[in-house]
Chains A and B, each alone.
Chain A
């Protein structure tokens, strides 16, 4: 919870410390879970959340501002994984209840020019499609995860994955098209 602790963990993680990675995952997961819970507990009807906004809130809470961009990228990588897990668990828990509540739909929207014609698909379907993609190309699925769930830029994703920006750009273009098609086919 202490920002310095988080930073220290990030440093250890960057140094290749697996235990630090686990602790970070745990910490980030708990924080995202808590933030998401607060949103989900709000009563009455339907509202929306943006995973990337949650991730950035978690980042500010746990690491604070003034963190160097490399640490930030590492944090966001971990947060992307956690965010996906939080959403997946909520989708499953609520789905299992079959009482209508919970989060179901995912919309891909252009926030810059919100035209209201976002692409809609099922959250679980997105998760499964990403799993399938991971089976075909681990890296492409990682690129999507980083972009969708933690809002990493092409450059940041390239840094995180240790590949060139050109590679990420190609991966992203392709994986995005692949996913949209996959989800359209799934209905």
Chain B
């Protein structure tokens, strides 16, 4: 707070007294100050400050500072300097952003000069440096098309030393005026333009970029030759010295209309000779059409910059149809936004112009259609990936789906009537294309003012139009629904996806029959969607349905059936039926291997599915082995960046993390982020998932700080894409809050968590499962802030909302109970924790059966609550029960069992049941070692507990053995 110096201490004291005295009446104030503040001067100061406030109380948010500005009368009234150096000043020619130009006269030899000085009042160091630099640049140029320098020096401006330089005085008119005044024909204009290019090229060859080419700087003299003035903001391109980069980054110099996009974006570092080529292109455009390609008003600099960097210039032939299309092509090539697409030099621009004049074929080619499409993408930088990906996805999905359906039906039905209908539908595909292109792409076109429209808005806007457009064709409508539903899923917008897929199903089923492959595919997509929504029961039910159907339709060894069987097995594991799920998954792999051979894609997928299951049940080592085998198999057959490979790599990263092989896990996670970014773009759902996985890896390995940026980015990206009040944004906001909490930034965490909660309430109303989850997050933050009461309030609220929404029989409700148990435990409220534990166990028993892993976990919690209440015997019994269930239901990966053993051990030690304690602790110890799980070894203080046990037993040699491991991670 205070640095301890006398004055800051005094200030702090005055502040405290002032603040404490707020709201006291005059007498109370006097009494208060006399009592609290014996020091007269201090008291006087506080009183004075209070009276200032009374005289002018702060008037709330409408109080503003207002600065009055006196602008001097027109600056032209300033007296002219009489002399500058050895020149007599004749008149002020012009005044620009960085200097004034006078016309002057030299006596010997007698000639007129242009004298450039720095504006008074702007004599800051950077301007001076630039000014002096300008002289040096100009001295290197010697070309009839470039005004040459005579002298550089300093002069005394009313006592201030000011630098100046004198240059050749060019008597002429700006090129545009000259051309218009003499009504030159096209060939004459082009010849003049060629000369300008030559002069610019001369400068470029000497490493000088003009950076401010515009008609005002290009005068045509009495002989009809152009001369370029004012290389004032040039920089030498071959000099890497910092001083040459003397344009403050981001500061706009030059005149906007002629400015290249790279210059307009203020990146002084990237401006090179091609920026001048751009300016020359604009000049050419103007010389030929009499117009600038963009309407630019300098009043709104920002809007102008957007235009330059965003809008495409009209072809010249549109403005004036008499202009030759080759000339249009030349000018447009010169003003390409990407400089690589421009002429590489002014000389080559001149050469193409001259080729045109001599009727030779020009080098420039009009832009291709593909290029135009990529330009659309570039204009919408934030949207680029999502839009393009989204549009491509939607279009492809629709076209493929419709063609497949139509042709399948045509093939199936021999009757003419049905074929005619199928053909009508094939025709509808092209209508569909138009729909996508017109209604969807144009919705985001900047021309329609949709610059800030997001992909989601686009899809949302398209959906009602589906109903309108295809009111007469319900079949097409439902096909489109299912395709867009699939797109939503790709984007990670699962609820929207679920809604559309469900809406599409009845119609498709009615039209095609329940066993049609397209219907089954939609069902399959819905299953994946529910899986991602963690609706385990819903997805399992669908998986069962699909598996049964395929099995009936195609037989057990069919590829399609096996795929469904594998998915069903995964769903079983996810819903907690570990044993059955694992067995099914293994079986699927075996059958696939037998039916198709070890390298068949079906077998690879089965392998990947099984490893997924193993990561859930804890069989990490086996999972690792399988995924590596899978990757080795698919490496030859698939491209890098294949979605299956990427998800396998992501999975391997998670497994390695669980196995404690952190560096490799991290390398892999980063590689997946890079690949998904490269393949799908930075904003794609998969990329965001990969980033989320990397962030959680960093968080899990105690590097949450490094993850904060990623969480923030995910949150901001989805906010930018989907809006603040969107489920996905709010989800990431919640994740961000959780990260802030974990990294100890509790104030921020609370703020973000509260904002997320408010957002959820705003979006869903008070009573909603997501609101319950947001309450849970806030509760955890408050807990960390030691606000245990607050934490309890919000978690209790979460539970109450959950009871009203998802009900007391829902797995999520069981999860919340689990958290409540943990909170109560940490509050030391074991008595309250115990019944919640029992409710949780009862619920899990009901949901999953008595011999289920979740029940085992609940018994584990109950055991801890009992032990903490001193019921050691009962606690030990619950531990034992939990371990027994684990042994039954989790045949592989026994880490949960070892965890329970590790916790039961010290309880048994305390109870004096030493042999059991020893057995439990040693089994846990050996178990964790066999799993190569050093992290858990440390977490449960196993070494410490073994040491304690052996010391009690007086077996000090064994105690010493384990003592060596204490604190080892």
Binding site for B on A (CB under 8 A): 1-2, 4-5, 7, 11-12, 14-16, 23, 26-27, 30, 34, 39-52, 61-62, 64, 66, 68, 71, 87, 93-94, 96-97, 99-113, 118-119, 123, 135-137, 140, 148-149, 151, 153, 159, 162, 170, 172-174, 176-178, 180-181, 184
Contacts and interface: CB of A to CB of B under 8 A. Distances in A.
Contacts of B8: 135-137
Nearest to A110: B59
A5 B748 CA distance: 25
A185 to B, nearest CB: 9
Nearest 9 Cβ contacts at the A-B interface: A112-B62, A101-B72, A15-B709, A136-B11, A61-B302, A103-B69, A177-B53, A110-B59, A177-B49
Interface stretch (B249-257, B537-545, B609-617, B880-888): B249-257
B49 A178 contact: yes
Contacts of A170: 15, 19
Given A26-B250, A94-B121, A181-B48, 5 more contacts: A27-B250, A87-B67, A112-B60, A137-B15, A181-B52
B66 A1 contact: no
Contact of A177 (B52, B64, B381, B452): B52
A102 B69 contact: yes
Given A105-B68, A112-B60, A181 B49 contact: yes
A42 B52 contact: no
Interface in B261-298: 264-266
Contact of A1 (B12, B19, B71, B250): B250
B165 to A, nearest CB: 24
B712 interface: yes
Contacts of A153: 61
Contacts of B177: none
Given A34-B252, A40-B69, A97-B121, A11 B302 contact: no
Interface of B: 7-8, 11-12, 15, 18-19, 22, 48-50, 52-53, 56, 58-74, 120-121, 248-252, 264-266, 301-302, 305, 309, 381-382, 452, 708-709, 712-713, 716, 719-720, 724, 747-748, 751
Nearest to B724: A68
30 contacts: A7-B720, A11-B713, A11-B716, A26-B249, A26-B250, A40-B71, A41-B71, A45-B71, A46-B69, A47-B71, A48-B67, A48-B69, A51-B65, A71-B716, A104-B68, A105-B67, A107-B68, A108-B66, A109-B64, A111-B62, A112-B59, A113-B62, A140-B15, A159-B751, A173-B18, A173-B19, A173-B53, A173-B58, A178-B49, A181-B49
Given A101-B71, A137-B11, A148-B65, A177 B747 contact: no
Contact of B712 (A14, A113, A176, A180): A14
Contact of A44 (B59, B71, B252, B748): B71
Contacts of B70: 45-46, 100-104
Contact of A106 (B62, B65, B252): B65
Contacts of B121: 93-94, 96-97
A68 B719 contact: yes
Contact of B382 (A4, A49, A68): A4
The interface centre, meaning the residue of A108, A140, A177 with most chain B CB atoms within 10 A of its CB, is A177
Contact of A50 (B64, B72, B716): B64
B18 A177 contact: yes
A170 B58 CA distance: 12
Given A34-B301, A49-B67, A180-B56, A100 B19 contact: no
B252 to A, nearest CB: 7
A40 B302 CA distance: 19
Contacts of B66: 48-50, 106-109, 118
A184 B863 CA distance: 71
A180 B57 CA distance: 11
B455 to A, nearest CB: 15
B1 to A, nearest CB: 9
A174 B21 CA distance: 11
Given A30-B250, A118-B66, A15 B708 contact: yes
Nearest to B70: A46
A46 B252 CA distance: 27
Contacts of B708: 15
Contacts of B15: 137, 140, 170, 174
B712 A43 contact: no
Given A47-B69, A100-B72, A151 B64 contact: yes
Contacts of B63: 108-112
A68 B751 CA distance: 14
Nearest to B300: A61
A74 to B, nearest CB: 11
Contacts of B48: 181
Nearest to B78: A99
A71 B748 CA distance: 14
